[in-house]
Structure 1
Amino acid sequence: MSDIRAVLTDIEGTTSSIDFVKDVLFPYARRHLPAYVETHWDEPEVQHWLHEAAKEAGIVEASRTEVIDLLIGWIDADRKSTALKALQGMIWADGYASKAFVSHMYPEVAARLKAWHDDGLSLYVYSSGSVPAQKLLFGHSENGDLTPLFSGYFDTETGHKRERESYARIAEAIGLPPAQILFLSDIREELDAARAAGMRTTQLIRPPQSLSDNGHPAVATFDAIVP
């Protein structure tokens, strides 16, 4: 892959454990969301995303309780809502600031990202979590602040992760031909979409999962990737 000039990486199951998101971040947001909405109701950014959530649900007017119940239901259903992701990110910011948790990174990830960065590769993130949430996760990792390694971040405002057009937009935003971008993910459908847009792909299959042939190069760790 000597022609690769940028690496675009997913987060869950790729750089970080799905369990961290599922067992730490989601429960924290669910637990603190009611109080957060009540105490930040009048803030313009919170109002914007609450309005977007209500609009997404087809609700013309909603009480605080109705909006809170709606968002809690979406968390339980793991709904890929941009409004929900934005609000979760605000709640997680408080959690990181209070040191309630730090974000998990697989053992080799930080060193490998730094090595790629030092070798002149541009690094980007594409995750269903909001861009602010992505920056928080990499800014408060077990390995310290990794955000200086990244050149940019993309979330579902760019487009859904299983659609070819999303990756075409990302390549255009990065300013490189898709063939010079390597996309890393644990989800085959995301890799299929990236490849359909012309990107190179590698699937992360973390233990205890076993490597299998899904039509994409598959590795168990970042150390096995040589872009």
Structure 2
Amino acid sequence: MSIKAILTDIEGTTSAVSFVFDVLFPYAARHLPDFVLNNAEQPAVAAQLAAVRAESGEAEADLPRVVEILLEWIAEDRKATPLKALQGMIWAEGYKAGQLKGHVYPDAVEALKRWKEEGFELYVYSSGSIQAQQLIFGCSVAGDLTPLFSGYFDTTSGPKREAASYTRIAERIGRPADEILFLSDIVQELDAAQQAGMQTCGLAREGGELPGHPAVASFAVIDLNGF
């Protein structure tokens, strides 16, 4: 068997897309204005607000305008790194307060635990920030799953639909790309990983196909011996 490490997406793969869009995003949008206004002087927050001004091309934007920009980005589902970082900070408060619990499919929990016990290295690659990833798995409905993972990757490693991002991740993992299996529900992400030399498997939880890749409806039926 050539697979030594498994790299998994979150949204639509280990976790329901509805959790992100129906729970996390509205929570962040609801709490973002007060969070920004109350924490703008904190160094970590100030750095992200500066990045928002730079990325939006509005260097002189005041705080209310920065909040407007961020809310526009949330509405667009824009994969902007400073937005993801700020959302992660807001979600951290929600998880800490017990207002949020990360959704993870039971079949994903069972398979990840089994693969870890069998000696596979497990990694996460999501467009959500590394902090947000750790919160979903650390404060999940199944308890703290973070001990299962050896590392996390987000948009700081590059866009998920570009092969170079997966090449970069393989280098950071320290394994040849063909020893890594990438799991996702998005065909363009699977294509990019495949172009970088990774093995791929698509999650089609509602059925259907992901052309060019084997597809399954559940982690329970992924056979690592088949790669």
TM-score where L is the length of structure 1: 0.97
Shift of 1:21: 0.2
Match of 1:65 in 2: 64
- Checking the alignment, whether the CA contact within 8 Å between 2:202 and 2:210 is kept in structure 1 is no
| Residues 19-57 of structure 1: per-residue CA shift (max 9 Å, x gap) | 000000000000000000011010000000010011000
Match of 2:116 in 1: 117
Match of 1:132 in 2: 131
Match of 1:225 in 2: 222
| In 1, Cα distance between equivalents of 2:210 and 2:49 | 42
* Equivalent runs, 1:1-227 vs 2, <5 Å: 2-207=1-206, 210-212=207-209, 214-227=211-224
- Checking the alignment, whether the CA contact within 8 Å between 1:164 and 1:193 is kept in structure 2 is yes
The structure that is helix-richer by fraction is 2
Shift of 1:211: 2.6
| In 1, Cα distance between equivalents of 2:14 and 2:62 | 38
| Residues 162-197 of structure 1: per-residue CA shift (max 9 Å, x gap) | 000000000000000000000000000000000000
Q: Which amino acid aligns with 1:222?
A: F
Q: Secondary structure at the match of 1:128?
A: coil
Q: Secondary structure at the match of 2:155?
A: coil
Instruction: Please identify, of 18-27 and 213-222, the stretch whose mean Cα deviation from structure 2 is larger.
Output: 213-222
Q: Which amino acid aligns with 1:202?
A: C
| In 2, Cα distance between equivalents of 1:28 and 1:212 | 32
Instruction: Please identify, of 162-171 and 104-113, the stretch whose mean Cα deviation from structure 2 is larger.
Output: 104-113
Instruction: Please identify, of 100-109 and 22-31, the stretch whose mean Cα deviation from structure 2 is larger.
Output: 100-109
Shift of 1:222: 0.4
| In 2, Cα distance between equivalents of 1:58 and 1:99 | 37
- Checking the alignment, whether the CA contact within 8 Å between 1:211 and 1:219 is kept in structure 2 is no
Shift of 1:90: 0.1
| In 1, Cα distance between equivalents of 2:49 and 2:210 | 42
Q: Which amino acid aligns with 2:212?
A: G
Q: Secondary structure at the match of 1:4?
A: coil
**Structure 1 residues 174, 16: closer, same or farther in 2, change over 3 A?**
same
Shift of 1:213: 5.1
Q: Secondary structure at the match of 1:108?
A: helix
Give the paired residue count: 224
Shift of 1:147: 0.2
Q: Secondary structure at the match of 2:37?
A: helix
Q: Which amino acid aligns with 2:106?
A: P
| Residues 53-105 of structure 1: per-residue CA shift (max 9 Å, x gap) | 11000111111100000000100110010000000000000000111120111
| In 2, Cα distance between equivalents of 1:132 and 1:213 | 29
Instruction: Please identify, of 102-111 and 71-80, the stretch whose mean Cα deviation from structure 2 is larger.
Output: 102-111
Displaced runs of 4 or more, over 6 A: none
